[in-house]
Amino acid sequence: MDIQTLTDAMHAFVRSKGWYDEDSPKPQSPKNLAISLTLEAAEVLEHFQWGDESADPDALAAELADVLLYLLQLASISDVDLGQAVMDKLERNYQRRWDIADDDPS
């Protein structure tokens, strides 16, 4: 499955809930989505709070899906081509060295 297919499915779901409507109680702004993304990422971390493995792999998968859904939505409404951003970042990372002090963490 590709990023565009996932993004389209995510937008269909959000529209079906009315969250893109002007009067939505859950405005889908970049700021709100970034907050939600962070909160969901913290829920992933909870799975490893007391051990090195998740006690419930299905629940972990659901939390990872939530993170991906918010990431896809934030990228889409921010006009970020997530696939291209990943490839650009990987290209920059190939030029980085982690075995020495790095002043540029991006």
Is residue 24 domain-resident?
yes
pLDDT for 25 beyond 60: yes
Is residue 44 domain-resident?
yes
pLDDT of res. 61: 98
pLDDT of res. 99: 82
Mean of all residue pLDDT scores within the chain: 94
Mean pLDDT of 2-15: 98
Is residue 50 domain-resident?
yes
Q: Find the domain containing 50 and state its range.
A: 3-95
- If one counts the domains in the chain, the total is 1
Q: What is the CATH number of the domain that holds 80?
A: 1.10.287.1080
Is residue 105 domain-resident?
no
Mean pLDDT of 14-37: 98
Q: CA-to-CA distance for 37 and 91, rounded, in angstroms?
A: 25
Is residue 73 domain-resident?
yes
Mean pLDDT of 12-26: 97
**Cα→Cα distances 61→42, 44, 47, 50, 64, Å:** 14, 9, 10, 18, 5
pLDDT for 17 beyond 90: yes
Q: CA-to-CA distance for 77 and 71, rounded, in angstroms?
A: 10
Portion of the chain with pLDDT greater than 70, in percent = 94
pLDDT of res. 31: 98
pLDDT of res. 106: 60
